[in-house]
């Protein structure tokens, strides 16, 4: 049985002016000790999906319209808020995208780690203090720096503090929302290597949200490609990298520089992500798709299994339309 199973999750942001369809009936699963990469452009709905799993969608204007979020067989959408507070930080933890906004600027970093341990770890303040120092050293920060404030650390060090907070209670599932986006390449590699080692040591499962396919290749077991609030292709890393089937996935790989091919220019995907408050009919990708036919604007594709465990939402894969 999967540790986490999300079924047909729908999340909208409702305002007086419009309804933003941020997440549109997505389904995914994460097994014990498994890492899922959630990949897509900015605005695809990746962060909203992650916040939905933790039930941290701001209400109003956010609203979970439907679906199930099964964690260890229990539907989190049916739990009361007090029950969710016990799960957050303890069983499911999240590394937020911007460490400077995730950390409290007026509290010492050691106190912020200790607070999580004291609240969730069922240990005394003295025990929490000792474990907090160990967590700092585990992520490569000297224990004596626990008395410093977030502004006294570099961006990479702050991200390490956020990771220490997220891993303090040894969560069974870690959600990492673009944890290395604001870091330079050298620090990014160090943080990813550290996260992978800590994940293996603690035997945690992970959802890694990113737009970097290179990061996915190095750390993930499965991949879900997200576009306009939908998962349009998912499978193992081998499926996605060796046999990308959706035109959007193919476009993502075409946008990457290659050391093996001598090309003059990259092949970016034309156009922009559609407005989630005004999504196109049929396949959401058809206005940007080089293979779109008239059927693509009218028919919303269902997921089809093109290989064992490899699912794609595309009419061309179902043989219902031909290339234009």
Over residues 194-198, the mean pLDDT reads 82
Kindly report whether the peptide bond that precedes residue 60 is cis, defined as omega within 30 degrees of 0: yes
The Cα–Cα gap between 88 and 258 comes to 40
11 and 64 Cβ atoms separated by less than 8 Å: yes
Confidence band (pLDDT; 50, 70, 90) for 321? Answer: low
Q: Rounded CA gap, 118 and 221, in Å?
A: 33
Q: What is the mean pLDDT of residues 34-51?
A: 94
Alpha helices of the chain — where are they, by DSSP H?
46-53, 81-87, 99-102, 109-120, 125-138, 155-167, 185-202, 213-219, 237-242, 247-254
Question: Which has more confidence, 224 or 316?
Answer: 224
Pick the more confident residue, 77 or 187: 77
Q: What is the pLDDT of residue 121?
A: 66
Average pLDDT for 240-268: 84
Most confident of 171-175, 201-205, 316-320: 171-175
SS3 313: strand
Give me the domains of the chain, ranges plus CATH numbers.
Answer: 4-91+171-313 (3.40.50.300)
Predicted local confidence at residue 263, as pLDDT: 72
Give the model confidence (pLDDT) of 270-318 as tens digits.
888 999 999 999 999 999 999 899 999 999 999 999 999 999 999 988 6
Give pLDDT, residue 324.
39
User: Using an 8 Å Cβ cutoff, are 74 and 113 in contact?
Assistant: no
Q: What is the mean pLDDT of residues 18-38?
A: 94
- Determine which of 68-72, 140-144, 317-321 has the lowest per-residue pLDDT on average: 317-321
Tokens encoding 263? 């090309």
Cβ proximity of 176 and 206 under 8 Å:
yes
**Residue 182 has what pLDDT?**
67
CB 301 within 8 A of CB 283: yes
> Edge-to-edge, what's the strand order for the sheet holding 74-75?
19-30, 4-14, 62-71, 74-75
CA distance 24 to 49: 10
What is the spatial distance between Cα 50 and Cα 86, in angstroms, rounded to a whole number? 17
pLDDT in tens, 88-132: 988 999 998 888 888 999 999 999 999 888 888 667 888 888 999
Mean pLDDT over the full length of the chain: 89
Q: Say which residue the tokens 């779109």 belong to.
A: 292
What is the mean pLDDT of the segment spanning 192-205?
84
Query: What's the pTM?
Result: 0.90
DSSP 301: P
CB 67, CB 41: distance < 8 Å: no
- How many whole angstroms separate alpha carbon 252 and alpha carbon 213? 8
Question: Does residue 266 sit in helix, strand or coil?
Answer: coil
Higher-pLDDT residue of 250 and 202 is 250
**Which pLDDT belongs to residue 320?**
62
Higher pLDDT, 69 or 195: 69
């Amino acid at each position: 049985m999967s540790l986490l199973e999300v079924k047909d999750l729908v999340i909208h942001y409702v305002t007086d002016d419009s309804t933003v369809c941020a997440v549109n009936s997505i389904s995914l699963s994460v097994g014990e000790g498994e890492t899922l990469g959630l990949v897509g452009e900015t605005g695809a709905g990746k962060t909203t999906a992650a916040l939905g799993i933790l039930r941290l969608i701001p209400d109003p204007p956010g609203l979970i319209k439907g679906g199930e979020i099964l964690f260890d067989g229990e539907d989190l959408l049916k739990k009361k808020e007090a029950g969710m507070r016990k799960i957050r930080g303890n069983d499911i933890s999240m590394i937020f995208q911007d460490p400077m906004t995730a950390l409290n600027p007026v509290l010492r970093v050691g106190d912020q780690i200790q607070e999580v341990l004291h609240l969730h770890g069922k240990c005394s303040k003295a025990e929490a203090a000792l474990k907090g120092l160990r967590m700092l050293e585990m992520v490569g920060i000297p224990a004596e720096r626990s008395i410093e404030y977030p502004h006294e650390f570099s961006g990479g060090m702050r991200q390490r503090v956020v990771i220490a907070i997220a891993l303090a209670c040894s969560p069974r599932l870690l959600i990492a929302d673009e944890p290395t986006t604001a870091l330079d390449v050298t620090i990014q590699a160090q943080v990813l290597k550290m996260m992978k080692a800590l994940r293996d040591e603690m035997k945690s499962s992970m959802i890694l949200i990113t737009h970097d396919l290179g990061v996915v290749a190095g750390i993930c077991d499965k991949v879900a490609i997200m576009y306009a609030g939908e998962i349009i292709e998912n499978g193992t890393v081998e499926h996605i990298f060796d046999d990308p089937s959706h035109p959007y996935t193919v476009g993502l790989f075409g946008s990457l520089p290659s050391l093996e091919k001598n090309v003059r220019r990259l092949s970016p995907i034309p156009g922009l992500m559609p407005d989630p408050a005004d999504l196109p009919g049929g396949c959401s990708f058809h206005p940007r798709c080089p293979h779109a036919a008239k059927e693509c604007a009218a028919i919303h594709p269902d997921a089809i299994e093109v290989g064992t465990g490899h699912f794609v939402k595309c009419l061309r894969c179902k043989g219902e339309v031909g290339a234009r």
